[in-house]
């Protein structure tokens, strides 16, 4: 019987696991190790579940919905002034939704893989910048669904400013300070991560989208 997993297999698993749950999961997998194949199969099952669990813990559903709505609103307004024909196109509004969804996915992953012990002033900007970088790469790879360069540039700049402001005002759950005796008043009001019923956030989002559709109908 082997004494433990190979260094390469354990290093790959360590690199793929979020830092917050890395040590305990690697320790449990090391104790259950019987063979290299079983270790790799267990890692293939455990790692996606660990990532998903960490995303649920670090992503606030209401804040994510507000950020996505703000990004989409920024892209639609920019398109209205920079390229009105894009909005009138058959898939124009759907194409404008692609960058916000990519940014949301990358922000959720970046928050899940963030190290709670490391705090630095530009940390709220890192995840949105990474998201827009990936969105730009997607623009370059899939030109069929890409946006015109001015629309993407102005929309990304405006959206980055909005998302950065929201992340400074409402920091990620993992970065929020916890009081020693009792949570602060604003912490008592926070929602559970990825709440499936964010009713309070749907109302302003619906109002914003209704305003966008009204402006489009007036053009």
Q: What is the pLDDT of residues 186-206, one digit of tens each?
A: 344 444 444 444 555 555 555
Q: What is the pLDDT of residues 3-48, one digit of tens each?
A: 678 888 889 999 999 988 888 899 888 888 888 888 889 999 999 9
Cβ contact 35:115 at 8 Å: no
Given a cut of 60, is residue 2 above it in pLDDT?
Answer: no
Q: What is the pLDDT of residues 59-75, one digit of tens each?
A: 888 888 889 999 999 99
| Domain extents in the chain | 7-55, 59-218
- Give the global pTM: 0.70
Contacts of residue 201, defined as CB under 8 A and 6 or more positions apart, other chains included, come to 61, 62, 65, 66
Given a cut of 80, is residue 54 above it in pLDDT?
Answer: yes
Please tell me the predicted confidence (pLDDT) of residue 5: 82
Give the chain's mean pLDDT.
79
Cβ contact 71:163 at 8 Å: yes
Q: Is 102 helix (H, G, I), strand (E, B) or coil?
A: helix
């Amino acid at each position: 019987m082997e004494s433990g997993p190979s260094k390469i297999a354990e290093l790959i698993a360590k690199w793929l696991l979020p830092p917050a749950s890395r040590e305990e999961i690697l320790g449990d997998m090391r104790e259950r190790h019987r063979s290299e194949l079983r270790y790799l199969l267990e890692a293939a099952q455990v790692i996606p579940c660990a990532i998903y669990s960490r995303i649920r813990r670090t992503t606030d559903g209401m804040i994510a919905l507000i950020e996505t709505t703000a990004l989409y609103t920024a892209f639609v307004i920019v398109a209205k002034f920079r390229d009105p024909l894009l909005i009138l196109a058959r898939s124009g509004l759907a194409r404008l939704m692609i960058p916000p969804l990519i940014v949301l996915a990358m922000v959720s992953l970046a928050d899940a893989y963030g190290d709670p012990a490391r705090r630095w002033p530009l940390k709220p900007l890192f995840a949105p910048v990474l998201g827009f970088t990936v969105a730009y790469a997607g623009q370059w790879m899939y030109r069929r669904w890409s946006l015109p360069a001015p629309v993407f540039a102005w929309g990304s700049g405006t959206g980055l400013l909005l998302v950065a402001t929201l992340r400074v005002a409402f920091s990620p759950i993992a970065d929020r300070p916890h009081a020693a005796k009792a949570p602060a008043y604003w912490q008592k009001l926070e929602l559970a991560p990825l709440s499936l019923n964010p009713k309070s956030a749907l109302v302003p989002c619906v109002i914003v989208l209704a305003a966008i559709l009204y402006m489009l109908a007036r053009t």
